[in-house]
Structure 1
Amino acid sequence: MSLYNFGKGLILTLFKPVYRMKVHGKENFPKTGAVLLCSNHIDNLDPPIVGACTPRKVHFMAKEELFKIPVLGKILDNVGAFPVKRGLSDREALRKGLKVLKDGEVLGLFPEGTRSKDGKLGKGLAGAGFFALRSDAVVMPCAVIGPYKPFRRVHIYFGKPLNVNEYREKKVSADEMTLVIMNQIGELLEKHR
């Protein structure tokens, strides 16, 4: 058993009963091919919870500071996460993200770049649009609806995959593509709150 699958099982065992996690739309998730998983970000628990609830292995971009924490950094590295320097154009992180997608795997992003303080969906950063336009990936919008309070239900909604081909053909900008992705996440939040 891989460390990733072990971690996934551990997270589900520990957190599912506490947060009464319920996953919706798992059948929408493509079984094969490159997927750009984009979710809102309401809590530090989002990456492990979303990762554990996703039917395929997710390679998350995570803020560089987390990799400097001795044990956590090693775990993140071993489960396929990779660091990104926030606030900068981090070419190495962009290259790694594109390679994940080129290899037909799942790249996980929280396009807001940071947690929402008020639970409302913030503005997305251009990185999500960049990955969507520069790869052959479909975009999988995801909405996490909390709050993370013991014995209150947390819902994870996977929307319908977004085919980016028409946007690539129209040559939309990364910012415009990010806006489309954020609207998809926003619609999921609106529909299920």
Structure 2
Amino acid sequence: MKFYIFARTVVKGILKVLYRVEIKGIEHFPKSGGVLLCSNHISNLDPPMVGITCPRPVSFMAKEELFKAPVLKWVLPHVRAFPVKRGMSDRGALRTGLKVLKEGHVIGLFPEGTRSKTGEVGKGLAGAGFFALRSEAAVLPCAIIGPYKPFGKITVVYGPPIDFEEIRREKRSAEEATEVIMSHIKKLINDNKG
């Protein structure tokens, strides 16, 4: 945890020099309990940007290949990231994610699975819906509004938790649950552009 706080402080210092960071909706963030934080994905800088603006420590799922890179294989576990195999159902990563949520922590996910080259919100993958349905965590939409231009403005918007009670009760599919999450992210972007 000490390294997480240290890394967050360093990254925050760098990003706040490079960009004018505006945070909206921080009051919507639950102070305790498991939180599934779902955001759009426009840049490799999204995870650190969410990490420095989120009021609680965040665990991110990161593609397995990153854990093989010389420095990252040490850094990533120390900043609470855990690996996921892309392009397949990774049961180990799903179990880890559910455990993190059950223990009352925050998981940060980019449901699209990859960066949007156009800046438009793409289709979300079923993983986000899986976590939303299989846990009792609060599901919080987040929008990152850019672009990441040096000294430009980046807005990070946290929306109110999505009411998942009925969706869980109706036993909707993971794909349908993800669609609900993505629609909330799109609305946050549309409501906060400009």
Letter in 2 for 1:110: F
Distance in 1 separating the partners of 2:139 and 2:90? 21
Shift of 1:18: 1.2
Give deviations 1:67-110, integer Å, cap 9, x for gaps.
11111121111111000000000000000000001101101100
Letter in 1 for 2:29: F
Q: How does 1:62-101 map to 2 (within 5 A)?
A: 62-101=62-101
RMSD over equivalenced CA pairs, Å: 0.8
SS at match of 1:59: strand
SS at match of 2:153: coil
SS at match of 1:27: helix
Give deviations 1:39-82, integer Å, cap 9, x for gaps.
00000000011011100010100011111111112111111100
Q: Which residue of 2 aligns with 1:25?
A: 25
Distance in 2 separating the partners of 1:81 and 1:71? 14
Q: Which residue of 2 aligns with 1:126?
A: 126
Q: Which runs of 4+ in 1 moved over 3 A?
A: none
Distance in 2 separating the partners of 1:140 and 1:16? 24
Q: Which residue of 1 aligns with 2:187?
A: 187
Shift of 1:21: 0.8
SS at match of 2:92: helix
Distance in 1 separating the partners of 2:163 and 2:175? 17
TM-score normalised over the length of structure 2: 0.98
Q: Which residue of 1 aligns with 2:148?
A: 148
Q: Which residue of 2 aligns with 1:106?
A: 106
Aligned length: 193
Q: Which residue of 1 aligns with 2:56?
A: 56
SS at match of 2:147: coil
Structure 1 residues not aligned, in runs of 5+:
none
Shift of 1:12: 1.1
Mean Cα displacement is larger for which, 10-19 or 108-117?
A: 10-19
TM-score normalised over the length of structure 1: 0.98
Distance in 1 separating the partners of 2:4 and 2:55? 12
Identity of aligned residues (%): 60
Letter in 1 for 2:14: L
Q: Which residue of 2 aligns with 1:10?
A: 10
Shift of 1:17: 2.1
